[in-house]
Amino acid sequence: MADTLQQLLDSPPARAVITRLGVPEATPLRRYEPGQPLLDGPALVGGGGRLRAAAERILADAGAEIRDAEAGGQGALVFDASDLASPADLRRLYEFFHPVLRRLRPSGRVVVLGAPPEGGAAVAQRALEGFVRSLAKELRRGATAQLVRVAEGAEDDLDATLRFVLSARSAYVDAQTVCVGPGESTAPDDWERPLAGRVAVVTGASRGIGAAIAETLARDGAEVVCLDVPVQGAALARVANDVGGSALQLDVTAVDAADSLRSHLLERHGGVDVVVHNAGITRDRTLARMSEAEWDVLMAVNLAAPQRLTEALLEGDALRAGGRVVCVSSMSGIAGNRGQVNYAASKAGIIGLVQALAPVLAPTRTINAVAPGFIETEMTAAMPFFTREAGRRMNSLAQGGRPVDVAETIAWMASPASGGVNGNVVRVCGQNLLGA
Ligand code: NAP
């Protein structure tokens, strides 16, 4: 969908008026294309904790250049803060970032590596979160900042996550804290096709974010089963065809949906490796005006179905060892939203599902969630102009995200190399101001 305000900003007279009104201007984000280098400039690495060597190895493996501060034009600033243990130690953040921040290139990356905030270092490690969230708000021109907490013993599980947060795949992910624990990660033979040989099922795949997820997982090598309601059969067949996958017409709320899905996956594919619960609906109305039907149907699609389908795929091990479940939550489920008590409850419930099942699935399988913010889809295109513009601009990147931004985040969580990423909820919202 065209970004009306950006079009106006591109015309000099309109731009003068609009910028005087204080409307933030969006920088086009660097997005991933196959074959693209990891970074758009050399990386500067600092800090002296247990993660620095792993970070330097991962950067080198990915073909990134590591240079000192004098070089300028940095594509990424990576600081290992895992050894910071006291308030006084936090000064090292200032000392590393202050002299070099202005040299960060457009769509550059700031990554702070930390430890879980526990024990004697809890104060300093928890402080990293405030530092990263605020720094993300100061960065300009599409640059982002993330905190990656790595548990003791999980140093070898960092590869997929560090590559993701550094790369253009994380274009619309900003100011997030990702936790990496010890898991069973398998480095792919080819980082451009980490899902080769894997079977994925994506619900709600006929359009919007679901279609982008199917495309992205297929690009990364997966054989994708595209699932949607029978009424979307024609669009679903087109998506399945485009991604070289198969179409499965199924209403996820049907009484026999869980059995049908499990039998289909076992009979046709011998099981499944990646399950993406994307199908979701809205029935927006304030609670006092909401009908019982609007409450019931929404809970059935958005919350009861993902829970039932996941449980059914776990029974009988249809979800194979190394399996990945990824749920689509929403910023509304974190921040709440007027007129969306049903939707926000369902999307917060999804986070509960992830947190409850993560320890059950560990260490061989994982479950995580993405929580999208304002994503440019048919749904957001239908919003009134001013609501849409406000939603689009109220984030640190001053623009809406694209379905592919959600899909790239899901593809990272689905990777066999992401075995240490379990129980995370990652917002794909450009650091939206709501519930931040
Ligand atoms: P969308 O365009 O409405 O697509 C959702 C798809 O799911 C549709 O094809 C829909 O079919 C299908 N679906 C609905 N009920 C189903 C059922 N019972 N069984 C199987 N499929 C069903 O939605 P979207 O905007 O791409 O959003 C995808 C997900 O992201 C949703 O979970 C949504 O809550 C979440 N999300 C979106 C945004 C955003 O900005 N767009 C923000 C935060 C979160 P019908 O249309 O025929 O019902």
Task: Tell which one of 376, 379, 399 to mutate to probe ligand 1, the residue whose CB is within 8 A of the most ligand atoms.
Answer: 379
User: What pLDDT score was predicted for residue 2?
Assistant: 46
Tell me the pairing of strands 43-47 and 272-277. unpaired
Indicate whether 6 pLDDT > 70.
no
Determine the atom of ligand 1 nearest the C-alpha atom of 332. Answer: 43
CA–CA gap between residue 369 and residue 373 (Å, rounded) = 13
Helices 208-219 and 403-414, interaxial angle, to 10°? 50
Q: Are 424 and 37 in contact (CB under 8 A)?
A: no
Distance from the alpha carbon of residue 338 to the mean position of ligand 1, in angstroms: 20
User: What pLDDT score was predicted for residue 68?
Assistant: 79
Distance from the alpha carbon of residue 280 to the mean position of ligand 1, in angstroms: 4
Indicate whether 22 pLDDT > 90.
no
Determine the atom of ligand 1 nearest the C-alpha atom of 232. Answer: 47
Distance from the alpha carbon of residue 95 to the mean position of ligand 1, in angstroms: 46
CA–CA gap between residue 355 and residue 424 (Å, rounded) = 8
Distance from the alpha carbon of residue 55 to the mean position of ligand 1, in angstroms: 37
Indicate whether 112 pLDDT > 70.
yes
Phi/psi at 350 (nearest 5 deg)?
Answer: -60, -40
- When computed from its CA atoms, the radius of gyration of the chain, rounded to whole angstroms, is 21
Q: What integer best gives the mean pLDDT of the chain?
A: 93
Indicate whether 158 pLDDT > 60.
yes
At 239-274, the pLDDT tens digits run 999 999 999 999 999 999 999 999 999 999 999 999
Q: Are 230 and 239 in contact (CB under 8 A)?
A: no
CA–CA gap between residue 51 and residue 13 (Å, rounded) = 50
**% of the chain exceeding 70 in pLDDT:** 94
Task: Tell which one of 278, 353, 399, 429 to mutate to probe ligand 1, the residue whose CB is within 8 A of the most ligand atoms.
Answer: 278
CA–CA gap between residue 109 and residue 166 (Å, rounded) = 6
Q: Are 332 and 430 in contact (CB under 8 A)?
A: no
Determine the atom of ligand 1 nearest the C-alpha atom of 403. Answer: 26
Task: Tell which one of 375, 378, 383, 402 to mutate to probe ligand 1, the residue whose CB is within 8 A of the most ligand atoms.
Answer: 375
pTM of the model: 0.95
At 378-422, the pLDDT tens digits run 878 877 888 888 889 999 999 999 999 999 999 999 999 999 999
Distance from the alpha carbon of residue 228 to the mean position of ligand 1, in angstroms: 10
Indicate whether 284 pLDDT > 90.
yes
**Catalytic positions:** 343
Residues 6+ apart with CB under 8 A from 207: 232, 235, 239, 378
User: What pLDDT score was predicted for residue 388?
Assistant: 87
Distance from the alpha carbon of residue 389 to the mean position of ligand 1, in angstroms: 22
At 314-345, the pLDDT tens digits run 987 899 999 999 999 999 999 999 999 999 99
DSSP 369: E
Indicate whether 206 pLDDT > 50.
yes
Q: Compute the average pLDDT of residues 297-312.
A: 98
**What residues are in contact with ligand 1 under a 6 Å CB criterion?**
203-204, 206-210, 228-229, 231-232, 251-253, 278-281, 301, 328, 330, 372, 374-375, 377-380
Q: Are 336 and 343 in contact (CB under 8 A)?
A: no
CA–CA gap between residue 221 and residue 195 (Å, rounded) = 5
CA–CA gap between residue 59 and residue 66 (Å, rounded) = 8
Residue nearest to atom 6 of ligand 1 (CA): 204
